[in-house]
Amino acid sequence: MIGVIKILGGLALFLYGISLLSSGMEMLAGDQIQKWLDRVTNSRLKSMFFGTAASAILQSSGLLMVTMIGLVNANLMTVVQSISVMLGQEIGTTVTAQIVAFEIGDFRLILVILGIIFLEFFPNRDWQKYGGILMGLGVIFVGMSYMASALNELVDIPWIANSLVAMGQYPWIGILAGIIATSLTQSSTAVTSVTVAMGMTNAISLEGAIGIILGANIGSCITGLIAALRLSPVARQVSYSQIMINVFGVLLFMPFIPQFADLIQRTSPDLPRQIANAHTVFNVSVSLMLFPFVRQIAAVAMRLAPADPEKVEHKVTMYIDEMQYAVPTVALKEASRELQRLGDITVEMVELSCRALLEKDIVAAERVLYLESGVADPVTRDLEHFVSVLMRSDLSFVQQKRAFQIKDLLVDVERVGDMAEDIADYAKDRVAGDIPFTEEATNELTELYEFALSIYRQSLQALREQNRDLAKTVGEREKEFDNLYWKVRERHIQRQMSGACHPEAGVIFIETLRLLERISDHADNLGISVIRNLNHVPAIAG
């Protein structure tokens, strides 16, 4: 019983260490992962490199798999691209086993001590990242030590010893054990590392360990499959592709496990290193063998989960997907892109609403009302919910700041859409009442509308590019707009006093002026937010 508790305690420490290491690496290199993701193209080699690097950094193929399914589901990545990433991911997952195969003795405690020192006594965020990484590595090795110690005791129990021997004699038993263990733990990394721990005490033969590794590869598909089953057929295609890749590898290697073990034994005299090397050679070999057949794998997956265009769910959002919660860096980036898209929609709404008012274009006015109720409002609602849920997850300080900024910016962008809707309503009133505008009033409204729209466009550009100079220019131009606004307002009052202005036209004119002034204010808010963001946290837009 004590041995079982030790194994479970060691496994808990190991998984906690993986979590710390993953969080630290994601904070350290998360932005770089996003840059790589943006560059994933139809180049299969680039996609494969991204998968290798991202999986090694995140220390979780499951996280990357779930994120990819989310990106494919949001139409941000094709199935062919995802398969190339997947092949790289298979290579990247071997890094953890290679790390834990080292026997570092009491140095693991030094890693823990250094990690605690960095986390507790160095407020600088960079030191915090390194502290998390060191602490994670140390806890991983402490967990491995506990598991190895417990396994050394458990192998004296006859039925456990016989089971481990049977895995070496009958590889299918090891494969089945690997599938079950990985399905239960949802972590092939944990199962592979426990197998390495078995090797540290010679509790298992290399052949038995290889069987568990092969099974863990199949079991690792469960996470992605569960995530994909409730999503679109395209998302299921990604999951089915992963299953095909891993099952192919297992079927290919299974008949030759003794010969494979004999080859691996020549790579190192130490059993833990042999197990890690077997994992690496297996995954790398399968990925390289299947690399030329990515399109064929995608074609088979598409046959298994055909997409019916008539049944495809049409989402109002384009970039965000709940599957992205697994990797906050990606989720925040896509939320920022969704915000930019909403900004572009509101630009169109302002253009159409002012054209509707000035040209008495009822079609343009109706288009604005549709964009507000059918697109802008639902996107705002979904994006606000997406960021709110994300903020309840385990975010770093910088990521929390980014999420708060997106929510603040969303308020300003959404308000601009509301302003455009109000102008469109005034346009409909003008058409219905056949209300005339003087030529002077029309020219003034046109000037102010073009000025306000120009400032708003510039603020969105500053946000997209994270451009401090452009953001400052927005503030300066907003002040110019305010000066012009008061001059136009004064001239309008003079026209009213002289009787040159139609009474109902006067109400519409002054209210439209007020709405345009508020649009310029919201543009200024965007510019101020960009400047504050650049002063405190890294850029979120791109």
SS3 of 473-518: the string is HHHHHHHHHHHHHHHHHHHHHHHHHHCCCCHHHHHHHHHHHHHHHH
Structure tokens at 40: 């994933």
309 has pLDDT over 90: no
168, 206, 276, 317 from 259: Cα distances, Å: 13, 11, 17, 52
User: What is the average pLDDT across 154-162?
Assistant: 68
pLDDT digits (tens, 9 = 90+) for 243-261: 899 999 999 999 999 999 9
Angle between helices 397-433 and 328-359 (to 10 degrees): 20
Asked which of 64-78, 167-181, 416-430 is least confident by mean pLDDT, the reply is 64-78
Output the CA torsion sign for 220, 224, 226, 227: positive
Note the pLDDT of residue 171. 82
Residue 187 DSSP code: -
pLDDT digits (tens, 9 = 90+) for 414-439: 999 999 999 999 999 988 888 888 88
Residue 375 DSSP code: I
Other Cβ atoms closer than 10 A to 388: 11
Higher per-residue confidence, 95 vs 538: 95
pLDDT band of 5, cuts 50, 70, 90: confident
Higher per-residue confidence, 147 vs 520: 520
395 phi, psi to nearest 5 deg: -100, 150
295, 441, 518 from 491: Cα distances, Å: 67, 9, 20
- Kindly state the percentage of the chain with pLDDT values over 90: 38
The torsion of the CA quartet 343, 346, 350, 351, rounded to 10 degrees, works out to 80
For residues 359 and 362, what is the distance between their CA atoms, to the nearest angstrom? Answer: 9
For the chain, the residue count is: 542
Residue 372 DSSP code: I
The torsion of the CA quartet 348, 353, 356, 357, rounded to 10 degrees, works out to -150
426 phi, psi to nearest 5 deg: -65, -35
Note the pLDDT of residue 199. 86
Closest CA to 37 of 60, 67, 79: 67
For residues 192 and 410, what is the distance between their CA atoms, to the nearest angstrom? Answer: 44
Q: Which single residue is written with the structure tokens 């997952």?
A: 93
Note the pLDDT of residue 111. 85
For residues 298 and 291, what is the distance between their CA atoms, to the nearest angstrom? Answer: 12
User: What is the average pLDDT across 215-241?
Assistant: 79
Coil, strand, or helix at residue 405? helix
Q: Which single residue is written with the structure tokens 């770093």?
A: 396
326 has pLDDT over 80: no
Higher per-residue confidence, 518 vs 172: 518
Ranges for all domains in the chain classified under CATH 1.20.58.220: 322-536
For residues 79 and 302, what is the distance between their CA atoms, to the nearest angstrom? Answer: 9
Higher per-residue confidence, 271 vs 164: 271
Amino acid in position 537: V
User: What is the average pLDDT across 220-235?
Assistant: 73
User: What is the average pLDDT across 332-337?
Assistant: 90
Contact criterion met (CB below 8 Å) for 376 and 414: yes
Note the pLDDT of residue 33. 62
pLDDT digits (tens, 9 = 90+) for 341-359: 999 999 999 999 999 999 9
220 phi, psi to nearest 5 deg: -65, -15
Give residue 44's Cα distance to chain centre: 21
pLDDT digits (tens, 9 = 90+) for 42-60: 678 888 888 888 787 766 6
User: What is the average pLDDT across 307-312?
Assistant: 58
Structure tokens at 289: 């063998």
Q: Which single residue is written with the structure tokens 């540290």?
A: 200
For residues 369 and 355, what is the distance between their CA atoms, to the nearest angstrom? Answer: 14
User: What is the average pLDDT across 399-421?
Assistant: 93
Higher per-residue confidence, 73 vs 144: 144
Note the pLDDT of residue 223. 66
Structure tokens at 257: 């496990």
pLDDT band of 41, cuts 50, 70, 90: low
538 has pLDDT over 60: no
Note the pLDDT of residue 460. 95
Amino acid in position 414: E
Give residue 91's Cα distance to chain centre: 21
71, 385, 400, 447, 496 from 321: Cα distances, Å: 7, 11, 19, 40, 53
Note the pLDDT of residue 138. 87
- Name the CATH superfamily housing domain 322-536: Phosphate transport system protein phou homolog 2; domain 2 (1.20.58.220)
Amino acid in position 504: E
Q: Which are the contacts of 11, defined by CB distance < 8 A and separation ≥ 6?
A: 143, 147, 185, 190, 194
127 has pLDDT over 80: no
Q: Which are the contacts of 355, defined by CB distance < 8 A and separation ≥ 6?
A: 361, 364
Q: Which single residue is written with the structure tokens 């030191």?
A: 127
Note the pLDDT of residue 316. 84
Closest CA to 170 of 242, 258, 94: 258
pLDDT digits (tens, 9 = 90+) for 349-385: 999 999 999 999 999 999 999 999 999 999 999 999 9
For residues 257 and 274, what is the distance between their CA atoms, to the nearest angstrom? Answer: 13
Note the pLDDT of residue 459. 95
Query: H-helix or E-strand containing 438?
Result: none
Q: Which are the contacts of 143, defined by CB distance < 8 A and separation ≥ 6?
A: 10, 11, 12, 13, 14, 15, 16, 17
For residues 541 and 106, what is the distance between their CA atoms, to the nearest angstrom? Answer: 44
Entry pTM: 0.71
Note the pLDDT of residue 541. 42
170 has pLDDT over 90: no
Note the pLDDT of residue 217. 87
Note the pLDDT of residue 251. 92
527 has pLDDT over 60: yes
Note the pLDDT of residue 462. 94
Closest CA to 396 of 113, 145, 208, 128: 128
Note the pLDDT of residue 540. 43
Provide the CB-side half-sphere exposure for 535 (13 A, CA): 8
For residues 46 and 61, what is the distance between their CA atoms, to the nearest angstrom? Answer: 18
pLDDT digits (tens, 9 = 90+) for 430-485: 888 888 888 888 899 999 999 999 999 999 999 998 899 999 999 999 999 999 98
Structure tokens at 307: 């997409």
